[in-house]
Amino acid sequence: MDASIFLIKGIMLGFSIAAPVGPIGLLCIRRTLTNGMSYGLISGLGAATADAIYGCVAAFGITAVSSVLLDQGLWLRLCGGLFLLYLGYTTFHAAPPATNSTAQTGGQISAFLSTFLLTLTNPMTVLSFAAIFAGLGAGSSGSGWAGSAFLVLGVFAGSLLWWILLAGIVGQLRTGFDARRLSWVNRFSGAVICLFGLLSISSLLP
């Protein structure tokens, strides 16, 4: 199959995986409103990078990595839930910036790492990618390494495209949010992110 077909399928897959609004989407929206579009883009880039890593594991059949992720799935989900609770708490109590100043590099690195780690702490993602990639023919003898590589590249591009669109749209609305409204955005986002964390931890209970 032509490599461009795998690339297009990957873009569609990456976009559809990223689009549902969850804790990372809320973080992206809140950070864009509070700190500017660059923060939202960096947050989305972290999630897209993690999606690409899981895509590589699934597409190239890296069984050793898959086994480790699945064997440690309980601890990873627990860490992810606790991390969500921490992010929710800090988001809820965060004070809106006094000015629309330019984001600092250290804050952008933190924004990238938080969404990157949150995405990686969901080991079931690799199973989803594996099932979808098998259905698309990635990693089969007919597709070869090139087809798998273009599919993973498409997943990254499609996921990143969603975060660019989201941050861009929310960024246009940012001027209408004063300090009071941003405070409520922080509280709402923090509460919902904490709820996601509690649901993640409760799913581990027998």
State pLDDT tens for residues 162-175: 999 999 999 888 87
- Compare 30 and 147 and report the one with higher pLDDT: 30
25 in Cβ contact with 166 (< 8 Å): yes
State both tokens at 8.
């297009």
User: What is the reported pLDDT for 2?
Assistant: 67
Query: What whole-number distance in Å separates Cα of residue 58 and Cα of residue 73?
Result: 16
Domain ranges of the chain: 3-202
> What is the structure's pLDDT at 161?
94
52-68 pLDDT tens trace: 888 887 777 665 555 66
Question: Which of 61-75, 158-172, 183-197 is least confident?
Answer: 61-75
**Residue with more model confidence, 102 or 163:** 163
3-state percent breakdown (helix, strand, coil) of the chain, nearest 5: 80, 0, 20
Q: What stretch of H or E contains 26?
A: helix 23-35
Rg (CA), the chain: 18
Q: Residue 104: its pLDDT value, please?
A: 54
The tens digit of pLDDT for each residue in 120-139 reads 887 666 666 666 666 665 55
Distances (CA, A) of 125 to 53, 67, 118, 119, 197: 10, 13, 12, 8, 17
* Tens digits of residue pLDDT in 18-27: 887 788 888 8
